[in-house]
Amino acid sequence: MAENVAEETEDLTDLYREYGDDRIPPGQRETDGFPVLSKSGTPSVDHGAYTFEAWGAVDEPQRYSLPAFRDLPSATQRQDFHCVTGWSKLDCTFTGVRFSEIVDRVGVHDDATHVLFHAIDGYTTNLPLAACNREGVLFAYGYDGEDLPADHGGPVRVVTPHKYAYKGAKWVEGVEFLTERTLGYWEKRGYSDTANPWNEERYS
């Protein structure tokens, strides 16, 4: 079972109202399933050796074992999940550590403008720091009250309900705070850098 589950679930399913009247973004179709997509399959992760790190333009870089990471203050949120390939899964419940919790612990420098998420399989994805310093960006280790399944990014993945899901790195092992933009894996290959589902920002 997912540890340290917050007592209350925050409902973020009305986030779409920032962008318009339609909960499901244009070009998307609702699915009851949870398709599995990744750049190269599900990696084997040794939970005992796993570490999560935060570094870069910060005062105090952080490093956590998986148990220590799961002992950090947690949040549980209900959100919608939008894949750039055209499907949306509604009412997903994720538990994990808020991005803002990590920001508070590392002391981000004033000149930091972007982040780059790093994954165990070599995947990377970038976002402006401002896009992460908002409600809903979560380092998730739980899904629907259970441990996050490996094929969906366990032990830890990023979720970004206001972006297409490729901005939420699976199997994430750290976040790097940057003073300038660095493109991630799919962004270098023509995917949108901004990835707003309601504007259909799929490709550059």
118-137 pLDDT per residue, tens: 999 999 999 999 999 999 99
Picking from 106, 165, 110, 113, the residue whose alpha carbon sits closest to that of residue 138 is: 165
Residue 23 lies in a domain: no
Calculate mean pLDDT across residues 77-83. Answer: 97
- CATH number of the domain that 108 lies in? 3.90.420.10
Does 113 reside within a domain? yes
Judge whether 11 lies within some domain. Answer: no
Is residue 56 within 8 A of residue 111, CB to CB? The reply is no
pLDDT at 7: 59
Mean pLDDT of 161-171: 97
Q: Please state the length of the chain.
A: 204
Total of domains in the chain: 1
pLDDT digits (tens, 9 = 90+) for 87-112: 999 999 999 999 999 999 999 999 99
Range of the domain at 80: 54-199
Taking the model in full, what pTM does it have? 0.94
Contact residues for 116 (Cβ-Cβ < 8 A; gap 6+): 124, 125, 126, 175, 176, 178, 182, 184
The answer to whether position 44 is within a domain reads: no
**151 part of a folded domain:** yes
The reply to whether 119 falls in a domain is yes
Which amino acid appears at position 75 of this protein?
A
Any domain includes 1: no
43 occurs within a structural domain: no
Long-range contacts of 28-34 (CB under 8 A, 24+ apart): 28/82, 28/86, 28/87, 28/88, 28/197, 29/86, 29/87, 29/88, 30/87, 30/88, 30/89, 30/90, 31/87, 31/88, 31/89, 32/89, 33/89, 34/89, 34/92, 34/152
Burial class (CB in 10 A: 0-12, 13-18, 19+), 152: buried
